[in-house]
Amino acid sequence: MIILAKSAGFCFGVQRAVESLEAEAALGRVSTLGPIIHNGDVVKRFESMGVYAYESPEDFPDDSKVAIRAHGVAKSVIADIEERGLAYADLTCPFVKKIHNIVAKAYDDGDKIVIIGDKNHPEVAGINGWCENNAIIALDIPDLSGKIDSDDTLCVVSQTTMDRESFEKIVNYLKNSCKSVQVFDTICNATNKRQTEAGEIAAMVDMMIVIGGRNSSNTTKLTAICKKYCKNTYQIENFGDLPQDINIPKKIGITAGASTPAAIIKEVVEKMEEMQKNSGENFAAEFEEYEKSLITLNTRDIVKGTVIAVSEAGVSVNLGYKSDGFVPASEVSDDPSADIKSLVKVGDEIEAFVVRVNDVEGEVTLSMKKILAMKGAKEVEDAFETKEILEGKVTQVVNGGVIVTCKGIRVFIPASQASDRYLADLEVLVGTTANFRIIDIKKMRGRTKIVGSIKNVIEEQKTALAEQFWAGVEVGKRYQGVVKSLTKFGAFADIGGVDGLIHISELSWAKIKHPSEVVKEGDVVDVYVISFDKETGKISLGFKNADDNPWKKVEQLTEGDVIDCKIVRIVPFGAFAEIYPGVDGLIHISQVADKRIGKVEDELMVGQHVQAKVVEIDLENKKIGLSIRALLAKEAPAEEAAEEVVEEAVEAPVEEAPVEEAPVEEAPVAEAAEETAAEEATEEAASEE
């Protein structure tokens, strides 16, 4: 029995290149830039037609047309050919040409290029030539070490013959390592199909033959895939490469790389059929015995099998039946968003429910989901009796509640039981994992409706946590909490079964208008207990860090210091200026200018930066007095002040003091200052009235 892969042989790009080169050879002299494809027999056939391969444009005869091979070349090579005035035919595979365009555009946009493939392969070398040979080339994750940064913007492409498992592994690594990764899945569909089919066949046979060039990348990868499932695998270029003493088994699989001509494949198949026919008189009898050994399948059977292929469409399973079984994607898991490839791997042994057997079409449809449901139904019913807490994933919102999937069973959670608090939109629960308890099981008309409650479990857990909290709470003790809600006067945080209030004044050292300026719902916060009352259940929490208190910086100031500050607020009696974030000082209206003013706005505006002198520091009451006037008086020139004194003396009328009068004693400076201040204050009050 010989199984030949349907996808074996020339792919579209290779077929196109070979046929085009044959047409060019019929029209006149033509040579190829490198071997047209990786197959020695094909290259020799073209040499017999006068078509030779050269490694560089400068080696080409002047009268020969240049044929660019299917693997493609760098942009600079085409430029070199054109500069030399050589006629050429671009036989690059269209899929490879598409990669050239992607790379060229991304490189012009400033992206860093990553090519997943073999740096020594001509296709990869050609792709790299479209980004000035600056691409990072990787066959595995270690090849990327030290070459990418987390803030890189990457454009990722792949060699067309790359195996998908390696491609996806590297892509996942890049997505987790860099903030911006644009991935182009450039693995040829034919390559992917060929590799998948090769693995499926290899898992079914006793010998696997892979036909293709020794230097062919896609053939080498096919061989590696086949060896995973069939150790007795041979890679050959033609039938003559097979060992002379090879033992011929009863089941042989044959596939071929993208560069293998149909004639070579046909020769290998015919020779192997002949060898099987002559391998022993009992071959037919042995095969009959093999047929008898195959199991019999019926709808509704429960069977075990080995996974031989996994794709987005579903899972292929070897059941020991004459046909393989297939689990459609919708029947793999009860979670519609689940990634099949992360749930099932090639080589896994699985249990499945036989949904349908179609011997005519050779199809066996299976379901893994039904097996989970059958087992889960019993476990869920037992959990209802024991009141066990179950865990499941919220998969969808339905009329009146949500569906939680657990052990393959759909459990209905009414909206009133979906949370311990009102939820306006139940969609926020979809995708989350929830603990719940079964509260009712209804069997009706052959259906079973299972009802659960998330709320009951949350309330029980909160009660237990609250008891634990009140048993150990102390003033000053720190907790990690989650912000549950915001009000205009503060934020409520769950600190383990109980809610505490972080007053708005405790959220920030700076003045804020609303708690949302500092925290939002869902934030994790580190808090400490300021006070608590177990009887009322009220807890006051602190959030500000004492080390961040801006008033600690004020201790560095002394009266008389001159500082830079910014006007942040103007009031009728003066202006408040920010000294440090969270610390304001008052410039009284009498200290704004060196003259009497009616309005502060006449001299200052909000946002203005000024210099002021510290005239008072009251740390206990958190007050700081500032003066601009003191600096203005200090800056007045001494000569100008002296002139004003002289002018006043000249203009003042001269009166003789009575001889008998007692000498006048000068009032102390401080007392005079107080009187002056009192007078000014009285006048200001009068003017304000």
Residues forming the active site? 123
- Cα(626)–Cα(560) distance, rounded to whole angstroms? 9
**623/639 Cα distance (integer angstroms):** 37
Print the SS3 string covering 576-639. EEEEECCEEEEEEHHHCCCCCCCCHHHCCCCCCEEEEEEEEEECCCCEEEEECHHHHHHHCCHH
Per 3-state DSSP, the chain is made up of helix, strand and coil in percentages (nearest 5) of 35, 30, 35
- Give the separation between CA 480 and CA 495, rounded to whole angstroms: 6
3 state DSSP class of 29: coil
Radius of gyration for the chain, computed over Cα atoms and rounded to the nearest angstrom: 43
Provide the phi-psi class of 574: left if phi over 0, else alpha when psi is between -120 and 50, else beta: left
- In angstroms, the CA 677 to CA 590 distance is 9
Burial of residue 563 (CB within 10 Å: 0-12, 13-18, 19+) is: middle
Q: Give the Cα separation of 127 and 523 in Å (integer).
A: 47
Distance, CA of 477 to CA of 527 (rounded, Å): 8
The token duo for 165 is 């498992």
| CA distances in angstroms from 144 to 63, 136, 627, listed in the order given | 45, 7, 63
Per DSSP, the residues of 391-426 read EEEEEEEETTEEEEEETTEEEEEEGGGS-SS--S-G
DSSP class of residue 117? S
Read off the DSSP letter of residue 368.
S
Taking each continuous run of H as one helix and of E as one strand, the counts in the chain are 17, 32
Beta strand 349-358 with 302-311 is antiparallel
Do residues 193 and 3 touch, judged by C-beta distance below 8 A? no
Antiparallel, parallel or unpaired: β 53-54 and 30-33: parallel
Q: Please give the Cα distance from 173 to 544 (Å, whole number).
A: 40
Minimal CA–CA distance to 585: which of 602, 610, 605, 549?
Answer: 610
Judge residue 434's burial from the number of C-beta atoms within 10 Å of its C-beta, 0-12 exposed, 13-18 middle, 19 or more buried.
Answer: buried
DSSP state of 296: P
**Residue 25 φ then ψ, to 5°:** -65, -30
> How far apart are the C-alpha atoms of 71 and 128, rounded to whole Å?
12
- In one-letter notation, the amino acid at residue 430 is V
Residue 201 phi, psi dihedral angles, 5° rounding: -70, -45
